[in-house]
Structure 1
């Protein structure tokens, strides 16, 4: 049975999901991020599967979401990027909390997420070599490309946005995985995207797959395409994600 425990880590509301009989034992740690206008509770099914496979899973509420819900800025996409940036800033606080408790087994740290959480995951890979395994689900490894697409769509719809929005979000350059693919560093990373995704274009994952194909630093990257799939995680995919983390975090099956 998986326990679901509410915690506050440096002001960050999180859920800890862990097998009841292993609650006080060091375990591989997976931080798993929810999507845009969602909340930590909506990735609980995935977390329970991971916990049942032997991991301690931490589900944070992103800024402006869940227990931290705030009105969305009238500036298009501003709240979205602010939420991701805060995820990036808070990641080390979450890891440090569990390290101080000596509950991370053998420094085995994983990170994953869906949609906005997938973008967070890909961005974290650029700066955190301590991450051993990752899964970017329905996210984009190319936030600069996605940001340009959003700005173009805003202009086409005649909505107002700051002329210097690109500069205001220039921090994206430092966290764009497509600009620094060697940061993959031969780590096991799973990318999944549906071909009919109506929110984040499939081609941003497909272009990255072509970019890094055959490179030595990308030998452990797995790309999976959901033919005809939209912006939705099906139960079978949750099992695939769980198996990926369990395999690469070296968790032996019972």
Structure 2
């Protein structure tokens, strides 16, 4: 039986998803992030699959989402970037909680997520060498390029935005994986993206694949392209993600 346990970790609402028999045993730990305007409960199916494969899975609610839901700022994209930044700030708090309980097996820490959660995942790789494997699903490793695209779209639609929004989100530079690809450091990383994704452009991931192709530090990176697929996770993909973590964590 798979247990789904509600917890509060330093004020962060999370679900712990784990096999009943393994609940008190050290296990590989996977922190898995949901997408924009979603919630932790909406990635429970993926978490159950990972838990059935022998992992402890932690599903946090991002700031402004789920149990932490707040109105979206009138400043375009501001709530989006704030949510990702808070995910990054809180990652170590989550890991430290399970580390102090001695429930992380041999330092086997994984991270993954969909859409906004995928962007969180790629950003975490730039600063957290303790991550052993990661899966960026429908996200982008290029938040600077994505932020520029969002600002351009806002201008096209003649919406008001601060002139210094780029400066206000300048922290993205430090977490852009395309700016520091060597941070991958030969770790297993899975990128999955549909070519017809209407929310996060497939080309940003395709460009990154071309950028790091044949580099030694990226020898364990896998890019999966889904021709014609849109911004949607299907059951077969969940099985692929589970197999990836089972093999690499």
Shorter-chain TM-score bucket reads over 0.9
- After superposing on structure 2, the runs of 4+ consecutive aligned residues of structure 1 that deviate more than 4 Å are none
Instruction: Tell me what 2:92 maps to.
Output: 92
Q: 2: distance between equivalents of 1:227 and 1:5? A: 37
With structure 2 as the length reference, what TM-score do the two structures score? Answer: 1.00
Residue 131 of structure 2: SS of its match in structure 1?
coil
- Structure 2 residue 121 is the aligned partner of structure 1 residue 121: yes
Q: 2: distance between equivalents of 1:225 and 1:44? A: 24
- Structure 2 residue 112 is the aligned partner of structure 1 residue 112: yes
Residue 132 of structure 1: SS of its match in structure 2?
strand
Task: Give the drift of 1:154.
Answer: 0.1
Q: 2: distance between equivalents of 1:159 and 1:131? A: 39
Instruction: Tell me what 1:36 maps to.
Output: 36
CA RMSD of aligned residues (A): 0.2
Q: 1: distance between equivalents of 2:11 and 2:116? A: 21
Q: 1: distance between equivalents of 2:98 and 2:172? A: 28
Alignment map for 1:35-74 (pairs within 5 Å): 35-74=35-74
Task: Give the drift of 1:191.
Answer: 0.1
5+ long unaligned stretches in structure 2: none
5+ long unaligned stretches in structure 1: 250-254
Residue 145 of structure 2: SS of its match in structure 1?
helix
Task: Give the drift of 1:235.
Answer: 0.3
Instruction: Tell me what 2:6 maps to.
Output: 6
How many pairs align? 249
Task: Give the drift of 1:232.
Answer: 0.1
Instruction: Tell me what 1:252 maps to.
Output: none
Q: 1: distance between equivalents of 2:106 and 2:218? A: 24
Instruction: Tell me what 2:25 maps to.
Output: 25
Q: 2: distance between equivalents of 1:69 and 1:204? A: 29
Instruction: Tell me what 2:130 maps to.
Output: 130
Residue 112 of structure 1: SS of its match in structure 2?
strand
Residue 206 of structure 1: SS of its match in structure 2?
helix
- Structure 2 residue 173 is the aligned partner of structure 1 residue 173: yes
